[in-house]
Each structure stands twice: as C-alpha cells, then as structure tokens.
Amino acid sequence: MPGQVHDTYVAAIQHDLVDLPEDARRIGVVRRPTSWFHGAVDENVPALGPPEALLEDAKQREEDLKLQGICDDDAQNLAWDEVDFAERYRDFLETPDGAAAVDELVERLEDGTDVVLVCFENTAKKRCHRTILREVLADRLA
C-alpha cells in the first residue's frame, strides 16, 4: 500500500499547530531554505521547489502589486495568476531535474513511506506550490 502525502508549512511544525503522523518523513520542498528551516524537516529537496526564475518573476510581480496598494496575501495570489505560476511549476516538474525529484518521491511513497511536504506558505491565506506537487503525486500514484 502506498504511503500518504501530507503537507504543511514550517511555522505550523515549529509552533506545534499541526498533527502529523509520527513516522512520516518531513520533506522540505523549498529552493532557498533558511538555516532554521532545516530544524523542522528531515531533509530538503531543492529540486522540488519552484525554479529561481519563477520565484523571481512571482516576487517581482507581488511587490509591484503591493506598491499599487494591494494587501500582502492578495498580492501574492494575484501575482501567481499573472505569472502563470501553476502552469510554469508543472512544466518545471517535467524537466529532467524536476522529474527526477518527483520520481524519487513517488518511489518512497510506493514503498509505503508517508511524507509531509513542507515549505513556508500558510495555504489558509496564500497559494503554494505544495498543492500542485500533491496533485502531481496523486496523478502518478493513481
């Protein structure tokens, strides 16, 4: 039986705001982890984070929207749409680096390992690539 995929954000782990299976492997999926991020995860796989160019495009557009008076959360969500974040991230996951990282994660899940995808965004307020990665994994395991 394949393992299950869970996801959360690092602050939820640090502040004990999330109930996760004890034996689940906490896998960071960020391109640029901070030093304190590593303490909340078992490992980080940068190849599962959005590529630098996409992160930069989204951040720049978000900053532009904030300068126009749009609040932080709304600016991030609008920027996602305007830079085609979801489509570009899915495309990235099909590149050799992205696909290899997804393949490795699928192998772990097929071996019965539960995994928790971890990054910075609280998806109650902001969109996050974790949701796209979960969909890709679900499609692969179906």
Per-residue pLDDT of 41-94, as tens digits, reads 999 999 999 999 999 999 999 999 999 999 988 999 999 999 999 999 999 999
Could you say which DSSP state residue 123 is in? Answer: T
Instruction: Give 37 or 126, the one with higher predicted confidence.
Output: 37
Q: What residue type is 31 in one-letter code?
A: R
pLDDT for position 126: 86
Note the residue count of the chain: 142
